[in-house]
Structure 1
């Protein structure tokens, strides 16, 4: 049994992660702003992580065997975490994202087209940090999501007095009604209603992971793993927007309709105009077994369909 603090953890992946931590017998302390209640069996501390003194006060004298940070989006938040959790924990795991590799948001070293990117593609040990940027502005933070994650990893890598690891999650699918992003629902609704789906002229593939598998990997990285640095979290097998809609069509009997996006027009989610894949070699070498997308995609679609057809005003009602 370990004492584990989860920052966030009251929605989607966080809920699944907390459930797994409890099932494994760990003592869980959940820290959030109180917008969502904590599940039974969890110690709940209400604090805004952007208020450093309030966060420290809420934690009191508590110490933890590990901390999982689900909501670190900027170097400012990372620096505060270093100060608040320094001396409280020997291990800190941050949920990061495939977006750190987004070439549209940073100048990155060139690699052959289509190469699955290893963690070394973005090395937080030498990534530049700009604390003077307006990270406290919500609009700026949202527009610079990728860079905020890169710089947060950099601060925690270089300044923390604890072992630090980041889990760079691929695009997440599954969870049915828990998936508040609405991206899979976007496709299901358009396929079932015969609405056109806007895609790029030549959509490129990317990597994905099931929400349950990501929660399992975070549990492993926190409670069982002793590695440091970034690790990519993605299932084997690429998907493009046509693969995704084909899986929906197979269960609905409806043929998807497509429309090519005009230059500069935004396409549907998961239609990419660039190859967008990560290598999961490091996760495997560290001992975490990863699935194939084809193993869980049909079930993720079925779960999403069940959730939509059960909702008033949704397809099937």
Structure 2
């Protein structure tokens, strides 16, 4: 297949490109060109600004079997893609987010956010908070695109290559004896690994006929208290968890209510997820060892 990956030089986007190449696909990466990759002459590269309509129309001079869009954050970005790739793509895979869901306190299924009937408001990334930007982008794709669209809703993605440092924040604070702000340690949270996220994107784009919204998350969840117990055991130190702290000590995982994805739809379609309790402890150990 001839495949375009918009955003494919770091984290799970880079792992996606690796998997697509391993499967023998013809891959082009479109990024700002600020991150060096090690794919050599295995891929073609295009330097572009995702928010530029002209740049997207340049990409759409060719036809693509699949386009992966990892860096769309607003309805205006989605409108540009819809116009540019109108008759130039077989399937469009949009990386969305758990943040489209406003519901809390239970496992979330795809029907908990309906992008097909959500009122569209135009605007760029700066006009919306993250979750609303993702909701509006999904709504724009599903209501206006003439080509097939898949919106992959991921929870927080973690991995050895995670540049955000969200898991390391907790390890660092525990090791330093610093407070961690969590409003509700009993809340349950889900994750997906960067490897699994890449595998899912590869599968849903090239090996599945799924279209529409789809949740993708590792099996099982952690209570935040269980996660802190895991870090305490791995570091040999006691976590200082408080409901209220200074802003810079607030946990990136500090949710007030249970917030995780139900992955039943994807599993019934044939994708096998890993269990969170199998890979997350290993990642914690990796992050601790990396700092020694």
Equivalent in the alignment of 2:63: 63
Equivalent in the alignment of 1:281: 264
Contact 1:174 1:304 in 2 (8 A): no
Residue 163 (structure 1) aligned with residue 154 (structure 2): no
Deviations 1:170-191 (A, max 9, x none): 111222xx21111111011111
Equivalent in the alignment of 2:132: 147
Alignment of 1:226-265 (within 5 A): 226-261=209-244
In structure 2, C-alpha distance between the alignment counterparts of 1:199 and 1:240, rounded to whole Å: 12
In structure 2, C-alpha distance between the alignment counterparts of 1:136 and 1:257, rounded to whole Å: 36
Which structure 1 segments of 5+ residues have no match? 104-112, 310-315
Deviations 1:159-212 (A, max 9, x none): 11211101000111222xx21111111011111222222221554112111111
In structure 2, C-alpha distance between the alignment counterparts of 1:60 and 1:154, rounded to whole Å: 22
Deviations 1:119-158 (A, max 9, x none): 0111111111001x4x253xx34xx110111111111112
Residue 6 (structure 1) aligned with residue 5 (structure 2): yes
Question: Residue 90 of structure 1 aligns to a residue in which SS?
Answer: strand
Which structure 2 segments of 5+ residues have no match? none
TM-score normalized by structure 1?
Answer: 0.86
Contact 1:172 1:208 in 2 (8 A): yes
In structure 2, C-alpha distance between the alignment counterparts of 1:50 and 1:264, rounded to whole Å: 31
Equivalent in the alignment of 1:99: 99
TM-score normalized by structure 2?
Answer: 0.93
Shift in CA distance, 262/189, structure 1 to aligned 2, threshold 3 Å:
closer
* Aligned positions, number: 290
More strand by share: 2
In structure 1, C-alpha distance between the alignment counterparts of 2:57 and 2:289, rounded to whole Å: 42
Equivalent in the alignment of 1:124: 115
Question: Residue 146 of structure 1 aligns to a residue in which SS?
Answer: helix
Shift in CA distance, 125/184, structure 1 to aligned 2, threshold 3 Å:
same
Residue 81 (structure 1) aligned with residue 81 (structure 2): yes
Deviations 1:15-64 (A, max 9, x none): 1111111111111101111111343211000111211113322x263211
In structure 2, C-alpha distance between the alignment counterparts of 1:190 and 1:263, rounded to whole Å: 13
Equivalent in the alignment of 1:107: none
Deviations 1:268-298 (A, max 9, x none): 1112101212211101111111121101111
Shift in CA distance, 276/231, structure 1 to aligned 2, threshold 3 Å:
same
